[in-house]
Amino acid sequence: MRGARYGVRINRKASAQLFPFERYFRGFEDVAAVRELFGAATARVLKQLKVEFFSFRFGYMGTSDVDGHLLISTHHLRTSDFRTLYLDVVHELCHVRQFRDGKRLFYQNLSYVDAPSEIEAYQFTVREGRRLGMSNAELRSYLKVNWITPAEHRRLARRTGVLGPPRRRRRPRH
């Protein structure tokens, strides 16, 4: 739409600046968990994978449901601890595999923690965290993100095996 009545024009065909994944993330082709995701195609997939950086203080990482590239907050990249970044990349690479397999990444009518794509990616990431030697407490902490409620966090922790099933309340005996 032209903004003639405003005296301006806006070109709406801007493209994002994409960078090669391997320019910023090296050695992931040798990670067993990543090889589990992509098999013999791991090196090729990572070589073709693109990354888009965005400047948003509260953003983390995501995967585009348009073409499967990664979206990463520069603030998260600069300020998060290494293990969190590593696990977030593993988590997003699981989404890349889901995208390549033709699976849905986003579910408008489901809570974030109920989306099949997130459950699978978090279960995969928790397995990798365990391989790194993380405790259940550390994994529960990793699963805490600011856009879910405490009840959703507990549900996600249960679904990923880092929190046992809810305790049954015993009825008092009379």
CA distance 135 to 142: 11
Q: How confident is the model at residue 38 (pLDDT cuts 50, 70, 90)?
A: very high
Kindly state the tokens that stand for 52.
């888009």
- Token look-up 């902490």 returns 141
Q: For 60-119, what is each residue's pLDDT tens digit?
A: 899 999 999 999 999 999 999 999 999 999 999 999 999 999 999 999 999 999 999 999
Q: How buried is residue 118: exposed, middle or buried, by Cβ count under 10 Å (0-12/13-18/19+)?
A: buried
Domain residue ranges of the chain, discontinuous segments joined by +: 19-159
**What are residue 52's DSSP bridge partners?**
71
pLDDT band (50, 70, 90) for residue 58: low
Q: What is the DSSP string of 19-76?
A: EEHHHH--SGGG-HHHHHHHGGGHHHHHHH-EEEEE--TT--EEE-TTT--EEEEHHH
